[in-house]
Amino acid sequence: MTNATLTPVPAAPVANRRNRLSKGRLPRWAIPVVGLSALVLGAAGSTLGGFSIASMLIYTALLFVVGATAVTVIVEGRRQGTNSFFTYLIHGCFILALIPLISVLYTVLERGLPGMTSNFLFTSMNGMTGAVDNQSVADGTPVLGGAYHAVVGTLLITAFSTIISVPIGMLAAIYLVEYGQGKALSRGITFFVDVMTGIPSIVAGLFAGALFGILFGPSTRMGIVAAVALSVLMIPTVVRSTEEMLKIVPNELREASYALGVRKWRTIAQVVIPTAISGIASGVTLAIARVIGETAPILVTAGLANNINFNVFSNWMATLPTFIYYQILSPTSPTNIDPSAQRAWAAALLLIIMVMVLNLGARLIARVFSPKTGR
């Protein structure tokens, strides 16, 4: 061992000397080279069976994963090979998941923007027949008819379902957090609220339809039925998010309030809820964003209208999702479907904008209005 201390310590690393810790590792250029050759081979391979971007990308990705893994296995061993294989696979999963997102957003923008006219936004489909569409295609004039009635319906039905769901959802959450701790009833509610989040939206629609059918006779279709159906979907979301937010409020604040001689209900209403309100509001906004795009329950409860209806308590009503659905599934003019498709995509763009605004709004509410702790 003493000999070891006598051997001269190697001087500072010489420029062209390789670090011994990186021995048996792939040089840094290896993977890009594999990638490039995979691209070339992929392009070549795809021309064999009729060139297309899709097949080229698929071949390239497969060749790259196989090639890069093989190179790693040969140089660095099997364990490193497995590791890099899964690294590529997992990155690939993420890219794969982005494809539909980008494709959907791009399609909706590309096809929806041309239809986003003031005519589209501020007229209804009242009196719009296939003949009108045929005429505008033949003359090359702008597409007539719009989604104003559907926007009105969407806003009204969503507003009514919010009015129904928020008080019930918030009160139930207050019961769970403030009154029901450890009670069998609260455990039951928690479980069934979770189960309720999984109710298919069409079943919620059928329920509301059946309920009003029993009360007012079969095939009762009006806005309020749809609002009830959406409430069934919305309440569990509101309960869950409110519950989470109320649980975060520190118990110390409740005790401080009780110690001042404040009653429990005033404590909840004036201390607990104001402290949690930003989180609750953001949760409610997300719940609205979720139900505003629902189609199936509206189909079976509110029917479809072409005219503007401001009254949720009588007659059929259209919403943006059902408008999109019917414009695509049964175009106004069966021979010239382009005007209908244009209206549908414009409505889709409008709907996505609404949903995105609600989602961003929810994040903004949570950030801006949360109580400043200063700690």
Partner 1 sequence: MSKRIDVSDLNVYYGNFRAVADVNIEIGAKSVTAFIGPSGCGKSTFLRTLNRMHEVIPGATVEGQVLLDGDNLYDPGVDPVTVRSQIGMVFQRPNPFPTMSIRDNVLAGVKLNARKISRSDADDLVESSLRASNLWNEVKDRLDKPGSGLSGGQQQRLCIARTIAVKPGVILMDEPCSALDPISTLAIEDLINEMKNDYTVVIVTHNMQQAARVSDKTAFFNIAGTGKPGKLIEYDDTATIFSNPSVKATEDYVSGRFG
Partner 2 sequence: MTTNALTSGPGSGRTGDRVFSTAARSAGILILLTLFAVALFLFVQALPAFTADPADLSGGQGFFSYIWPIVIGTVIAAAIAIVLATPVGLGVALFISHYAPRKLAAPLGYVIDLLAAIPSVIYGIWGYLVLAPVLVPGYEWLNQHLGFLPVFGGPVSQTGKTMLTAGVVLAVMVLPIITSLSREIFLQAPGLHEEAALALGATRWEMIRMSVLPFARAGIISAVMLGLGRALGETMAVALVLSTGTLIPSLIKSGNQTIAAEIALNFPEAFGLRMSELIAAGLVLFVITLAVNMIARWIISRHQQFSGAN
Binding mask 164-183 for partner 1 (x = CB under 8 A): -----------------xx-
Options 3-11, 25-33, 122-130, 294-302: segment touching partner 2 (CB under 8 A): 294-302
Token pair recorded at residue 366: 């949570």
Nearer to partner 1, 229 or 268 (CB): 268
Say how many residues touch partner 2, by CB under 8 A: 97
295 binds, among partner 2, partner 1, none (CB under 5 to 8 A by kind): partner 2
40 binds, among partner 2, partner 1, none (CB under 5 to 8 A by kind): none
Residue in 42, 81, 44, 47 with CA at minimum distance from that of residue 59: 42
Options 12-20, 22-30, 130-138, 172-180: segment touching partner 2 (CB under 8 A): 172-180
Whole-number Cα distances in Å, 319 to 143, 200, 323, 353? 20, 19, 6, 15
Options 8-16, 116-124, 132-140, 165-173: segment touching partner 2 (CB under 8 A): 165-173
Q: Are 130 and 333 in contact (CB under 8 A)?
A: yes
Say how many residues touch partner 1, by CB under 8 A: 26
Options 76-84, 164-172, 189-197, 266-274: segment touching partner 1 (CB under 8 A): 266-274
Q: Which of 41, 66, 253, 308 lies at the binding interface for partner 1 (CB under 8 A)? A: 253
244 binds, among partner 2, partner 1, none (CB under 5 to 8 A by kind): none
CB atoms within 10 A of CB 119: 14
DSSP-derived 3-state class of residue 309: coil
Q: Which of 34, 143, 226, 268 lies at the binding interface for partner 2 (CB under 8 A)? A: 268
Q: How far is the CB of 177 from partner 2 (least distance, A)?
A: 10
What are the backbone dihedrals phi and psi of residue 142, each rounded to the nearest 5 degrees, phi first?
-60, 150
Q: Which of 180, 336, 361, 364 lies at the binding interface for partner 2 (CB under 8 A)? A: 180
State the Cα angle at 370 between 364 and 375, rounded to 5°: 130
Q: Is 239 in the site for partner 1 (CB under 8 A)?
A: no
Backbone conformation region of residue 12, classed left if phi is above 0, alpha if psi is from -120 to 50, else beta: beta
The span from the CA of 251 to the CA of 272, in Å, is: 9
DSSP 102-162: HHHHHHHHHHHGGG--HHHHH---TT--HHHHHHHHHHTPPPP--SHHHHHHHHHHHHHHH
Footprint of partner 1 on this chain (CB under 8 A)? 181-182, 250, 252-263, 266-267, 270-271, 274-275, 371-375
